[in-house]
Structure 1
Amino acid sequence: MDFALISLFVAAALASLFMAWVIGAGSSGATPFAPAVGANAISTMRAAFLVGIFGFAGAVIQGGSISEAVGSGLIGGVSLPIAGVIFVLVLGAGLMAIGILTGYPIATAFTVTGAVIGVGLALGGTPVWVKYQQIAAVWALTPLVGGGVAFVIASLLPRETVPERYSIPILVALVGAVLVNIQFSFLGVGATPGTISGVIQRRLAMEGLGSVAGITAIVSLVIASLTWLDIRHDKSSGLRHVLLSLGALVAFSAGGSQVGLAVGPLLPLLDEIGMVSTSVVLVGGGLGMLIGSWTGAPRMIKSLAQDYSSLGPRRSISALVPSFLIAQLAVLLGVPVSFNEIVVSAIIGSGAAVGGRAAIDARKILMTVGAWAGSFALSFTLAYLAGMVLL
């Protein structure tokens, strides 16, 4: 391999690290614990430290499916050249950085997806319509589902007829049921991912879907019982513990769903030359996000916490639960998803439940949606033109 080619690979790797840093410093590094900071449940610096750790863990353990989708699932028939990979990463990270500096909610998933498709089509690739339909469905349904679930939860939590010592444990039990059935790379047999319920099933020598359902029910009941005891002992402390636990799960999910946007475009190149394995690339992307969370996220966490402080612990919990569920669904489907879109939609839903129409700023929502759509359109257009002219 000549020096020029090595230099291009190094440039591509640096562009990927820059993208990972921007993701860690941006919304995926700030939003998971911003509600907890706003509710005075944790300090800003400790939140940044934890979100970096959990985000790194999610990137390494769950980042494979999104990385493969971004790397080879968006365009058929061609692989992006090194120069194309560099352009995609720099364009996506650059637009995201502009969004952070200007305050516009530029969505990383939209910019990277648009850039990969734009460059790929310009180079003669074929559209993967099935994947596009899947992505469009997730992107379109995220505000409706996330906002709707947050609305329902926020409507139920403050009611006297639904005491929190019961409603919160039930909510946590739902999260626990999902958690024990999430696929983790290190829990399977051989190279196949596995679940916590699957590990318990193998240890107990049980078989069938019924046993998985039973294990899930038992684990959920145990988690709900512990939460009930915690809230019964001290409601404020119990809500704080639930909020911090959800923040950790959302941070983990953010790492798993967002790292692919940074390292996905690199994978086809590395597969061709056999330089490093996917797991090593995920570790590198996770480290980039971790550094971004530790160095860039504290400022954004502090800024977001001022907005979240008006939510309180209950509305924050209402926003974080659907954020966790949607992020995990995206990982399961291998669909690049905007964490910005997920969390903003959930916040709007929880706000509407408490404040009604007065809590919804229609103009701000339209500007946010316009920024999301504009992120995709701008990155696609710039990438397509660059692919036609420069590559």
Structure 2
Amino acid sequence: MVAGSTLGTLVIAAAASLFMAWAIGAGSSGSTPFAPAVGANAISVMRAGFFVGILGLLGAVLQGANVTETVGSGLVLFPDGGGLSAIAATIALLTAAVLVATGVFTGYPIATAFTVTGAVVGVGLAMGGQPAWPKYQQIVALWVGTPFVGSGVAYATARLLRTENVRERLSIGGLAGLVGVLLANVEFTGLGPDGGPGALSVALARTFEGGTGGRALVSLVLGLLVATLVWYDIREHGERAQRRFLLVMGGLVAFSAGGSQVGLAIGPLLPLLDTFTVPIVAVLLGGGIGLLAGSWTGAPRMIKALSQDYSSLGPRRSIAALIPSFMIAQTAVFFGLPVSFNEIIVFSIIGSGAAAGGGSVSGEKMGKTVLAWVASLGLALGLGYGVFSAVAIL
């Protein structure tokens, strides 16, 4: 039997986790995936908030385990192999949630990954844990590389779509085929041989006993199928088909956001749940519901900020922004690394806008946004360390 005080602190930590999930849903995971589609007038702000909530919930359940484990036990190392205490988890979650919620209500996108990572590391070090330097190197490499990869791929994609020598149905169809190949190799919970994570291509290859060669063949077939469907749709329906493909890409990014961002909300709780027999799927579901609630109640404000304040996008530039966003997001999910969807989308928008002559990105807005990202990391780390140290003394 668990002591009452332990159960009580766990309830408080769980409430803080749900608040964090709401703040994430209202902020990064709820606003960024469909912002380019809203900017291209492919979907309304309210409908975008509705669909991103549903897709984020699915992503949380089907892909949320990797990042959740990293946030829960991979950011700070303890000699006994344990994790954050209930009080430490509560302080970390509340610190990060307040910062993210402040960004939501002021209209500036705070990078959730920065705030949660900083808060968790801060309280972990205050507890006497040791820095996980190899993991930090991976995370920093992702954070630093995202602006260059995101903007670079978005720029090249937008240039391709603007090339007059290549017909639009061929260029977009080819890009859709690439997305199909990537999607065939994305891991989902339940597709592995033991019921764990596994890719669709691997599962189908295993069914037909195709081995490694079978996986490549399945990926190629699925990619060609997607490319053919999109090519035919664009040939028959033109710009309407572009907007449909844009919405599909927004949905894939929203799904990926749920798989990544839920770990930021519920990861600190994992060490506390070792005492209880709570399945990880149930925890992911609870976090996903928190994301959904945030997307439905708070995301429209941030969607408007990103779609209108940063740039006015057409369908082609929006597609160019979402393709690298999907690629980077799934890479982060695969390696279990926390990533900022605000950072991904904003720099992808900049890259696609540069291909069209710069777009209408506000330099002042971008400067304040980047400053908020950097400040949120340091502030969350300092507050997490300081608040826990003060509570420990009391």
Q: Scaled by the length of structure 1, what TM-score is found?
A: 0.95
SS in 1 for 2:319: helix
The residue aligned with 1:285 is 287
The residue aligned with 1:11 is 12
Give the alignment partner of residue 351 of structure 1, picking from 347, 350, 353: 353
The correspondence of residues 236-247 of structure 1 with structure 2, limited to 5 A, is: 236-247=239-250
The alignment-based identity, stated in percent, is: 56
Give the alignment partner of residue 151 of structure 1, picking from 155, 160, 174: 155
The residue aligned with 1:369 is 370
The residue aligned with 1:331 is 333
The correspondence of residues 308-327 of structure 1 with structure 2, limited to 5 A, is: 310-327=312-329
Work out whether 1:183 is the aligned partner of 2:187. Answer: yes
Deviation at 1:308, TM superposition (A): 6.8
> Does structure 1 retain, via aligned residues, the 8 Å contact 2:310–2:365?
no
**Cα distance in 2 between the residues matched to 1:135 and 1:381:** 19
The residue aligned with 1:251 is 254
Work out whether 1:227 is the aligned partner of 2:230. Answer: yes
The residue aligned with 2:128 is 124
**Cα distance in 2 between the residues matched to 1:388 and 1:122:** 6
Q: Deviations over 1:224-263 (max 9, x none)?
A: 0110000000111110111010011000000001000000
The correspondence of residues 18-33 of structure 1 with structure 2, limited to 5 A, is: 18-33=19-34
**Amino acid paired to 1:366:** G
> Does structure 2 retain, via aligned residues, the 8 Å contact 1:181–1:197?
yes
Q: Give the 3 Å change call, closer, same or farther, for CA 48–345 of structure 1 in structure 2.
A: same
Deviation at 1:212, TM superposition (A): 1.4
Deviation at 1:34, TM superposition (A): 2.4
The residue aligned with 1:174 is 178
Give the alignment partner of residue 217 of structure 2, picking from 208, 214, 218: 214
> Does structure 2 retain, via aligned residues, the 8 Å contact 1:308–1:316?
no
Instruction: Kindly tell me the number of residue pairs found equivalent between the two proteins.
Output: 388
The residue aligned with 1:105 is 109
The residue aligned with 1:66 is 67
Which runs of no fewer than 5 residues in structure 2 stay unpaired? none
**Amino acid paired to 2:247:** L
Deviation at 1:325, TM superposition (A): 0.5
Q: Deviations over 1:57-83 (max 9, x none)?
A: 000000000000000000111521111
> Does structure 2 retain, via aligned residues, the 8 Å contact 1:122–1:388?
yes
Q: Which moved more, 1:90-99 or 1:41-50?
A: 41-50
**Amino acid paired to 2:199:** T
Q: Scaled by the length of structure 2, what TM-score is found?
A: 0.95
Work out whether 1:162 is the aligned partner of 2:163. Answer: no
SS in 2 for 1:276: coil
**Cα distance in 2 between the residues matched to 1:211 and 1:46:** 39
Deviation at 1:94, TM superposition (A): 0.2
**Cα distance in 1 between the residues matched to 2:390 and 2:44:** 49
The residue aligned with 1:261 is 264
Deviation at 1:123, TM superposition (A): 1.3
Q: Deviations over 1:15-74 (max 9, x none)?
A: 100000111111210121222223222233322221111100000000000000000000
Deviation at 1:269, TM superposition (A): 0.6
**Cα distance in 2 between the residues matched to 1:128 and 1:109:** 16
SS in 2 for 1:194: strand
